[in-house]
Structure 1
Amino acid sequence: MNNPNHIGRKFSLAYRYKKEKLFRFYGLLASIIGLIFLVIFFSNLIGKGKGAFFQTQIKLNIDFSQEVIDPNRTGDKEEFLKANYGGILKDALLKRFPSVSGRKDTRSLKKIIGQGGIYKLSDLIQERPEWVGTSQEIWMIASDDIDMYIKGKISTDVPDDMRRVNDKQIEWIKQLEQSGQLRTAFNAMFFTSADSREPEMAGIWGAVMGTALTLLITLALSFPVGVMAAIYLEELSKKSRFTDFIEININNLA
């Protein structure tokens, strides 16, 4: 005759194996679902954010007039900083589009170049003072509005006065494209610049450095405290419910 206890143990083991298989199945299913959502998240993130890795640039012939930058011919870089680089940039745009006249159109024309263009010209002269008194072809960063238009983020189906880019600006951009003076280039500033009020000049460097410093400070504070706490719990403290509670939580976190 079969031993009832033996039969009970067999059924008990079969039940446990069944539950274990079911548990593994649910765990695998949860992992797969989590992985699917992770893939969807990163696909969506990369798909929508990849445009940040590229920027629209416009090539202009910049006249670094000595009368504007260094009228006294001192060669002093401190004096170079006082120059009207906004005026230099405006003159370059008007030279490229001589038919533009009137305050409104001139203002619209200036807006196709980002505000960072002024700083770029100033930095270039600081780096290359020999350019004073010469003309150079420079790739300037387009404004955020123009960049969004080139990337297809601004629709032309809406009326002109409801768009961030008006019809005249679109016409100028088309002329620049036809003459090879407009391009989409890798946005290195995205990795080397910090946050900025000007979207075309913003980057992640500040956030990266902030995160790195936060991690370093956290490590510097938590590592010695954690090591000393481990030594105390393992070697010095008396066993109690409190220490057991701490060890259980440490094991769970690990």
Structure 2
Amino acid sequence: MTVVPTVTLNDGTTIPQLGFGVWQVPADQAEDVVTKALEAGYRHIDTAAIYGNEEGVGAAIAKSGIPREELYVTTKLWVSDFKNGQTLQALETSLGKLGLDYVDLYLIHWPAPADEKYLEAWKGLEELQSQGKTRSIGVSNFAPEHLDRVAETGSVTPAVNQVEVHPALQQRDIQAANEKYGIATQAWSPLAQGAVFEDQPIVDAAEAHGVTVAQVIIRWHLQRGRILFPKSVTDSRIKENFDVFGFELTDEQLQAIDGLERNERTGMEPTTFNPA
């Protein structure tokens, strides 16, 4: 079986560097899709309350028979549950849907920074970690200024900051801020939803190694030290995205992909996105 590299987080726990994401996976497909991912070898599953598919993820986990300690499960707190009492209940609700006693990582999904309620939510996450409901706590879509505020007011440093990162949007300022605080960078939308698949340095590297462009991008993330979780509902692509440990990109190929930065997002701008 393929051994996926792990990253040691600042709280001493470890996380598989390559995982499987279920954003936009319909609730009625989640069990089947996650089952295929687990069968392919993935042991790190990333979901969220707002995705509406935690039950399907939990059903696949239960059906798999894989020991709990061999799995790494992430879910996320939505903005509407930022108040402390609601934050604690939100994770209980997610745990019930997942059929788990604890998650490995619980994240604030978006900062929604207009009123800084994410700071209250962070205190709730600290409490949940102290209760053993989550092994690690972190954030998602936090810009450097949001990380600074958490550092000023919180008592625990986030273990992870999950942000949009791919060849066309590398967010070097956020990655530098993460490094400053010892926070691991997780990449969501790591394949840019296919928007970089025709970029010449990626195409050239794929031809040189006899692999797909998606596999090249995943290797680029891995070799740059990021955690990532590509998503697919297609069985062949689920397997393909996991089959990335038989080749390595050269320094020249890595640098060429680094040069594709053009500040192109597939998602929302976190500093101005304030969902209800």
Q: TM-score, normalised by structure 2?
A: 0.19
Specify which structure has the higher proportion of helix. 1
Q: TM-score, normalised by structure 1?
A: 0.21
Specify which structure has the higher proportion of strand. 2
| Structure with max Cα Rg | 1
